Chain A
Amino acid sequence: MEMIFAGLLDSLSPASLMFVFTGVAIGVMIGAIPGINGPMAIALFIPITYYMTPLTAIGFLVGLNKGAFFGGAISAVLLRTPGTPEAAATSWDGYPLTQQGKGEKALRMALYSSVAGDVISTGVLIAIAAPLAAVALFMGPSEIFALISLALTVIAGIGTNSICRGLIAAAFGLLAGLIGTEPVTALPRLTFDVYQLGGGLSLIPVAIGLLAFSEILIQLERFTVKGGGEHVANVFSTKREDRMLSFKEFFSKIKTLLRGSFIGIGVGAMPGLGAPVASFMSYDQAQKRSRDKEEFGKGSLEGIGASESANSAVVASSMIPLFVLGIPGNLAVAMLMGAFMIHGMQPGPLMFKENAQLMYGIYGSLLLASLFLAVIGRFGLRLFCKAVEIPAVILYPIVIFTCIMGSYLGRSDMFDVGVMLSFGVIGYFMRKFDFSYVAFLIGFILVPEWERALQQVVIISENNPTMFFQRPVAMALMALTFFVIGKTFWNNIKAGRDCRAEKVKAPAKDEND
């Protein structure tokens, strides 16, 4: 109990409060800019957290992520261009409201739904992470190895239409993560005699290159070919009822918000699914169960609430696998895991034992971030709406230069800038050829732990080839891994067949017509 109070008091220190507040404010601002999302913002800002204490650094990044999730709704509502993929469903009802001059009302609904989803999800995280972590402590290296294998397999399917390309990306990530000093012999491995690679590739330039720089290269390509110049529609009506959201309007959607929150919690807790899935699932359920089904897609506050409560609930719940098992469920959490590692901590069940005070401090920061999101969103909404109008010719140079100098900040070495540029180009090609950069990054982050577990298993079992079949949980997890691979391949083949069958049917139908 002392630890809990000490941790919560830490989170209330002036420095922690300031950084969480700043993180949320920057996150909302960045999330509002189309094309810049939470993980990208985390990648850009991780270098400055080098100079913070672990609690303020994690608090700042968590605030940034939470803010970016809501920020994504701003451009979705005002421009019908979701700032983040998970805000796509929000745009379906938000933009029609904006066209009716009720943009501010839509944004308020998005804000309060986000805060509701976020608070409920944070509560669930606090309630269940520590007890589950206590159970997870009984896992040995065999189970950890099997679990990471399963996580990598599940995550290989993210962000690509092909499991083959997902697995190639994950394997490439593993390979990149092996560069550096080999843990058993303490000798350099795959360093090509480049002394800067002796300590391995640093996460910061790799993440900035893959997430931010390559994304900007793609966006610039679109911008230079097609041009920009989207303008915000009529957002702020002079009529009070068009601007404000009444208690009655909000609380009449409470069932939808609760349902959305729990969908978000469930989806977030499962590695690999992510916020867009939660958002679309919740929207679909809300539409099916609503009394005003026909309003969906035309400016329904319920639709906005369903989407936003679900995607915001994912933020905290996706930390459950991280805190319980040490496995990142999605890209934003993978970046947070990287931040933990930069500050010398290995996320996982042991954290509750070794860094209990810090963990409760992080819980406090999570709750504070929700509170700050409500306050900043409530009073700064009009200011953040201006962020969507920043001209691209000013925004892109800022982001490019921040990518370059951010990579330098980590180790004060221009070599890291070269690494960032290289991974920027690799990321550009990965996106163009549909290779999952998410799988790459998660493989890159998880490989040290995966290899450590493998070494432990091999040493303990004295090179016994049946080592994974001696422990039932490990065996079940390995079986599940192979099942997931088989099932995903089968689904791909089936989807291909269905697609071809439809193509064959379509011309036949045309001929009949």
Chain B
Amino acid sequence: MTRIQRETIANLMIVGFGILLLTWAIPTYTPAYPGYGASPALVANVSVGVMIAMACLSLVRLLLARFAGKTLPAEEGQFPEEAQSTGFTQVGRVNLLHLARFIIPSVLLLAAIEYVGYVPAAFVFLMVIQYFIGSRKWLQSTVVSIVLVAVLYIVMRYGFGVPIPGPQLF
């Protein structure tokens, strides 16, 4: 996908999201005007208005660029920032598979903690995450998982007195 296409999709999504907010979410989930002061919906409407206006402006710019045949880089690498000296901009292609690899286990951890408790769920989660990161040293992964789970357990329970999430074995 070219950069123009990616930016166009992003801006269109912002416009769509903004319209949804303006027409449904803000009117439905904002209290009615109490008769004094500014309306509770004012800042929300202005914010969404700014989002839509800026996205439309970007779309116009992209449209002009497309018709004028201007050259935004047609295809870009995954880490184009490495060409820059500071190296801290991270604009680039989205890798959905990579995102899923780390988000899905995290979401499953949330659900698993409620059913099996913190210790087993966190242990399995850390083993899976280390596998996805590329660790194939099982002993090292096991030690890292056990130590990390134990340290945070002790810190939460005995350091801060925070209730440990989910059912507890001990």
Q: Is A421 an interface residue (CB 8 A)?
A: yes
A218 CA to B93 CA, complexed, in Å? 11
Q: Is A127 an interface residue (CB 8 A)?
A: no
**Stretch of A106-114, A165-173, A237-245 contacting B (4+ beta carbons < 8 Å):** A165-173
A171 CA to B43 CA, complexed, in Å? 9
Is the Cβ of B110 less than 8 Å from the Cβ of A414? yes
Is the Cβ of A432 less than 8 Å from the Cβ of B58? no
Is the Cβ of B30 less than 8 Å from the Cβ of A182? yes
Q: Is A217 an interface residue (CB 8 A)?
A: yes
Q: Is B148 an interface residue (CB 8 A)?
A: yes
List chain A residues, Cβ under 8 A from B34.
184-185
**Stretch of A8-16, A288-296, A360-368, A404-412 contacting B (4+ beta carbons < 8 Å):** A404-412
Mark interface residues in A174-200 (1 if CB within 8 Å of B CB, else 0). Answer: 110010001011011111110000000
Is the Cβ of B43 less than 8 Å from the Cβ of A447? yes
Q: Is B6 an interface residue (CB 8 A)?
A: yes
A412 CA to B71 CA, complexed, in Å? 51
Chain B contributes a number of interface residues (CB within 8 A of A) equal to 73
Is the Cβ of B55 less than 8 Å from the Cβ of A88? no
Q: Is A353 an interface residue (CB 8 A)?
A: no
Q: Is A69 an interface residue (CB 8 A)?
A: no
A48 CA to B134 CA, complexed, in Å? 30
List chain A residues, Cβ under 8 A from B30.
182, 189-190
Greatest chain A CB density within 10 A among B48, B50, B126 is at B50
List chain B residues, Cβ under 8 A from A162.
58
Is the Cβ of A222 less than 8 Å from the Cβ of B47? no
Is the Cβ of B44 less than 8 Å from the Cβ of A221? no
| A164 in contact with B79 given A185-B34, A400-B129, A432-B91 (CB within 8 Å) | no
Within 8 A of B (CB), among A24-54: 48, 50-51
Select one of B47, B57, B88 contacting A175, CB under 8 A: B47
List chain B residues, Cβ under 8 A from A401.
122, 125-126, 129, 148, 152
Mark interface residues in B90-121 (1 if CB within 8 Å of A CB, else 0). Answer: 11111100110011001101100110000000
Mark interface residues in A194-222 (1 if CB within 8 Å of B CB, else 0). Answer: 00000000000000000000000110111
| A393 in contact with B130 given A182-B40, A225-B78, A433-B10 (CB within 8 Å) | yes
A398 CA to B155 CA, complexed, in Å? 14
A436 CA to B34 CA, complexed, in Å? 35
Chain B minimum-CB-distance residue to A186: B31
Is the Cβ of B160 less than 8 Å from the Cβ of A190? no
Mark interface residues in A412-455 (1 if CB within 8 Å of B CB, else 0). Answer: 10100110010011001101111000000000000100110011
Q: Is A224 an interface residue (CB 8 A)?
A: yes
| A220 in contact with B98 given A167-B50, A401-B148, A431-B90 (CB within 8 Å) | yes
Q: Is B144 an interface residue (CB 8 A)?
A: yes
Chain B minimum-CB-distance residue to A280: B86
List chain A residues, Cβ under 8 A from B140.
393-394
Q: Is A276 an interface residue (CB 8 A)?
A: yes
Select one of B89, B122, B156 contacting A409, CB under 8 A: B156
Q: Is B14 an interface residue (CB 8 A)?
A: yes
Q: Is A392 an interface residue (CB 8 A)?
A: yes
A interface residue count range (under 10 / 10 to 19 / 20 to 34 / 35 or more): 35 or more
Q: Is B83 an interface residue (CB 8 A)?
A: no
Mark interface residues in B130-149 (1 if CB within 8 Å of A CB, else 0). Answer: 10111100001000110010
A54 CA to B51 CA, complexed, in Å? 36
Chain B minimum-CB-distance residue to A443: B47
List chain A residues, Cβ under 8 A from B14.
168
What 10 A-B pairs have minimum CB-CB distances, sorted nearest first? A187-B31, A393-B135, A171-B50, A171-B47, A164-B54, A431-B90, A174-B47, A185-B31, A458-B38, A182-B40
Known: A82-B87, A193-B29, A221-B95. 8 other contacts (CB 8 A): A164-B55, A164-B58, A223-B134, A397-B130, A408-B165, A418-B110, A434-B89, A455-B38
Which residues of B approach A to under 8 Å, CB–CB? Answer: 6-7, 10, 14, 21, 25-26, 29-32, 34, 36-38, 40, 42-44, 47-48, 50-51, 54-55, 57-58, 61, 70-71, 78-79, 85-95, 98-99, 102-103, 106-107, 109-110, 113-114, 122, 125-126, 129-130, 132-135, 140, 144-145, 148, 152, 156, 159-160, 162-163, 165
Which residues of A approach B to under 8 Å, CB–CB? Answer: 48, 50-51, 82, 85, 88, 161-162, 164-165, 167-168, 170-172, 174-175, 178, 182, 184-185, 187-193, 217-218, 220-227, 276, 392-394, 396-398, 400-402, 404-405, 408-409, 412, 414, 417-418, 421, 424-425, 428-429, 431-434, 447, 450-451, 454-455, 458-459, 500, 503
A-B contact list, 16 entries, CB within 8 Å? A88-B85, A88-B87, A161-B89, A164-B55, A174-B43, A178-B43, A182-B31, A190-B25, A393-B140, A397-B148, A400-B106, A401-B148, A405-B156, A409-B162, A425-B103, A432-B91
